[in-house]
Structure 1
Amino acid sequence: MKSKSGGEVMDGSDLMELVENEKVFSNFVDHKFQELDTDCDGKLSVNELQPAVADIGAALGLPAQGSSPESDHIYREVLDEFTHGKQEKISKIEFKEVLSDILLGMAAGLKRDPEIELPDGSLRDYIIKAFEKLTVVQGMPPATDPWVANNIVEPALKSLCIEPQQPVSQETFLVEFKRAIENVVQHLKEQPAIVAHSQNTFDGSGIKRLLSNKFELDKTLDSALESVPKDHHGKISKAYMRLALDVLAPSAGLPPFGAVDQMDGIMIEALKMFNADDGKLVKKDEFKKLLTEVLGCIMLQLQGNPISVFVNSVVHEPLASSSTLLQTSSP
């Protein structure tokens, strides 16, 4: 099994390693045989083999026995491999030989067509995540939007052949994802989504306006100080500078911490310059002075390298007409 970002690729190497290690495989067979041999007679009957057959079927990606004639036929073939088509009991040696052949066959199949074990164990979740990576440029409205999720994505997934908690091959994923895309296209034709594009540029101008207005600055800083804990002497730990910065962010034209990764980086670096994480206790005036200097540092960074954020949002109401020329007046 090889690790990949987002999941595990099952290429049969684990099965090969198990079977080829005689000691480990023998211990595995001993344990499994003892588990199956419920009457402890040293042999396995057809009934006692059923759990092993069911496990092999599940590993092959088959639905439970009795679900379909096609899968039941494969289950019977697996059982016949053990019993050689007879109703006789088999020994541990026979069980080991057949199990070895089956596992090696499965390993060879996985090597030809590796399976991806999804991190959430769900093909459905993986397809949803794939839709979330598509953009408006590719013709997909934001899949994370509740309206899009409920009216476009979810209905598109209902007709897919998805077995929960079942590993899937790359081929299966591509086939089902293609079907999901076709369904999404159809739903979008029936219910078009209007997507509004907006751009927000953080260039430090909001901070500059705040710093140039002493009255507004003092008022904003006082408001920020009210939100942070103080000791019994009224002193404040510098560790709360980020919290205070988050409180005054709207007044400074900054996004909340965690909303824009690039902005988070600039704010964190500015706080580090003033040792915000040393936890030192300072008086209120000193705390306000530090916050002001942090804002100035962020402003200079943004003036030199403005950060633009593009946002696509679904408009859930019809766009209002920009002209009343063609509107008729009520009688």
Structure 2
Amino acid sequence: MSVEILDGATIVNFLQDEEAFSASVLNRFAYLDTDNDGLLSYAEMLKELQSLRVLETHFGIDVEPDPDELARVYESLFVQFDHNLNGTIDLDEFKKETKQMMLAMANGLGFLPVQMVLEEDSILKKAVEREFPKVAS
């Protein structure tokens, strides 16, 4: 994990770079597709959904959530990705929903920079790296 500074423009610019965005989505999808069948099952997608930390509260200190509530949240997020409701997520569904989620995040952030803690292999981290490439010392 690393602390990065980003704003809505960083995300929008990344989404507009179709090559960079598509490559990042494909890499993430391949990482999640542990059985290499070209589809994400609920079990494969669960780790990704958990990394969203949708019920985290109190500035990074987790409160023990109700397991039933948590299961309902993850199931509803999975359905959000599963556009054709066939019980699996293909690459196109994953890409479309990832783009929609990132646009919503960009809209929520606006254009004032904020600091965020990002996973090293996250798509948001790729957006920041694209916008602000590391300069060799």
TM tier relative to shorter chain = 0.5 to 0.7
Cα pair 1:37 1:43 within 8 Å, conserved: yes
2:46 pairs, out of 29, 43, 50, with 50
- 1:62 is aligned to 56
- 1:27 is aligned to 23
Cα pair 1:9 1:115 within 8 Å, conserved: yes
- Cα distance in 2 between the residues matched to 1:79 and 1:29: 16
Superposition deviation, residue 25 in structure 1: 0.6
Q: What amino acid does structure 1 have at the position aligned with 2:30?
A: Q
1:15 pairs, out of 11, 14, 21, with 11
| Greater relative contact order structure (CA < 8 Å, 6+ sep) | 2
C-alpha spacing 1:109/1:93, structure 2 compared with 1 (3 Å): same
C-alpha spacing 1:77/1:15, structure 2 compared with 1 (3 Å): farther
- 1:83 is aligned to 82
C-alpha spacing 1:90/1:8, structure 2 compared with 1 (3 Å): closer
Superposition deviation, residue 17 in structure 1: 1.8
C-alpha spacing 1:76/1:10, structure 2 compared with 1 (3 Å): farther
Q: What amino acid does structure 2 have at the position aligned with 1:68?
A: P
Structure 2 gap ranges (5+): 118-137
- 1:286 is aligned to none
Higher Cα Rg: structure 1 or 2? 1
- Cα distance in 1 between the residues matched to 2:30 and 2:36: 8
TM-score normalised to structure 1 length: 0.29
Cα pair 1:44 1:91 within 8 Å, conserved: yes
- Cα distance in 2 between the residues matched to 1:66 and 1:45: 28
- Cα distance in 2 between the residues matched to 1:18 and 1:44: 24
- 2:105 is aligned to 106
C-alpha spacing 1:71/1:109, structure 2 compared with 1 (3 Å): farther
C-alpha spacing 1:76/1:48, structure 2 compared with 1 (3 Å): same
Superposition deviation, residue 48 in structure 1: 0.8
Aligned residue pairs, count:
110
Q: Aligned with 1:47: secondary structure?
A: helix
- Cα distance in 2 between the residues matched to 1:32 and 1:12: 21
Superposition deviation, residue 43 in structure 1: 0.9
Superposition deviation, residue 85 in structure 1: 8.7
- Cα distance in 1 between the residues matched to 2:92 and 2:65: 32
Cα pair 1:46 1:87 within 8 Å, conserved: no
Q: What amino acid does structure 2 have at the position aligned with 1:11?
A: D
Q: What amino acid does structure 2 have at the position aligned with 1:51?
A: K
- 2:128 is aligned to none
Q: Aligned with 2:80: secondary structure?
A: helix
Superposition deviation, residue 16 in structure 1: 1.5
